[in-house]
Amino acid sequence: MATSKRHRPSTLHHEPAAVTWAREKCGLTKRALAEAVGISEQLMGEIESGWRNATPANLAKIAEALNCPPVVLERKRQEAGPPPARRAP
């Protein structure tokens, strides 16, 4: 019997720590937030720990339940630009 190993998503649409911080700031439990969003408590925990990606629809529902703009919960993207200049010693 082959066992499958779980892997974290390589790219997340949300910032797990921001979701946890906003939930705690609102005084909600994972269960209460999950119920407000319409997802399982297990999925909410996996979103907060970074094991699962929050879909754009779920992220919008989470932001609405936490009364904050979705951008607060989104993963910040690195700007693709030239590397910083190195100084000569």
Question: From first to last of its 89 residues, what are the pLDDT tens digits of the chain?
Answer: 566 676 766 678 899 999 999 999 999 999 999 999 999 999 999 999 999 999 999 999 999 999 999 999 998 765 555 555 555 55
The per-residue pLDDT for 88 is: 57
The per-residue pLDDT for 12 is: 82
Residues recorded for the chain: 89
The per-residue pLDDT for 89 is: 57
List the Cα angle 78/76/70 in 5-degree steps: 155
Query: What are the structural domains of the chain?
Result: 16-67 (1.10.260.40)
Cα–Cα distance, 9 to 73 (Å, whole number): 17
The per-residue pLDDT for 87 is: 59
